[in-house]
Amino acid sequence: MNFIKNILKSRTEKDEIFFVEIKKIIGFKPNSLKYYKKAFTHSSVKKTTSSGKSLNYERLEFLGDAILSSTIAIYLFNEIPLGTEGDLTQMRSKIVSREHLNEIGKDLSLINHIVSNVPKKNFGNNIHGNIFEALTGAVFLDKGHLACEKFIHKTVIEPYVDIERLEGKITSYKSVLIEWCQKVKKRINYEVYEDTGNDALKHFSVKLFVDDEILSKGRATSKKKAEEIASKRAYYKLQDVITL
């Protein structure tokens, strides 16, 4: 009887709109909105349970990351029967890379649904991938493993995964450059310095040197990103001579 009452219990107009939006994103009707509400709740809201536990997307992000990784691993295992452990690991890394998940989160416009006390313009790029992982975790808890696999196939594998294309995709231009420089006995160095400029967020600029010559520059909100941007620019300058 209580179960029937819960089904018949009317949702608020706001919840009804959220229900429709989530249904469009995941491809089927959600059973319980509580998981999805949590998946879109940023820690800046400082929402807690009655016992004081934090209510935000971070735990769901952890869960979603693990489920994505295992689902992609199973897919690759079946699709590439002759792939070695190293091959499969590299392929999985490319598919579930932060850059790739950020792309997916952006394409799904997930940031439009986030509840936060931080202006959206102040979020780093990784917010898109973080929310996508949290949403994956929410689908798993709400609908179960099989439904979550279908969600991952619909949002990740079918629209984005091309085995042949991914086999030639570079996931780290910095790693490629370092390996090449070691091979041809060249010195590579990254000079990083803080560069806030007129931006509200702190930025870092990078100069990439090869044999003491500035080859490229990069600028981003983290040192790692700035180094990767500089590395990508350097790679395209040197791609005719780089062999690994």
Distance (Å, whole) CA 100 – CA 95: 6
Identify the sign of the CA torsion 176, 165, 140, 57. positive
Catalytic residues: 65, 133
- Return the bridge partners of 213, or none: 210
Distance (Å, whole) CA 127 – CA 1: 41
Which of 196, 206, 198 lies closest to 233, judged by CA?
A: 206
Torsions phi, psi of 178, nearest 5? Answer: -60, -45
Which of 138, 156, 123, 119 lies closest to 59, judged by CA?
A: 138
Identify the sign of the CA torsion 191, 90, 96, 106. positive
Residues contacting residue 6 through CB under 8 Å, at least 6 positions apart: none
Distance (Å, whole) CA 218 – CA 206: 5
Distance (Å, whole) CA 244 – CA 232: 16
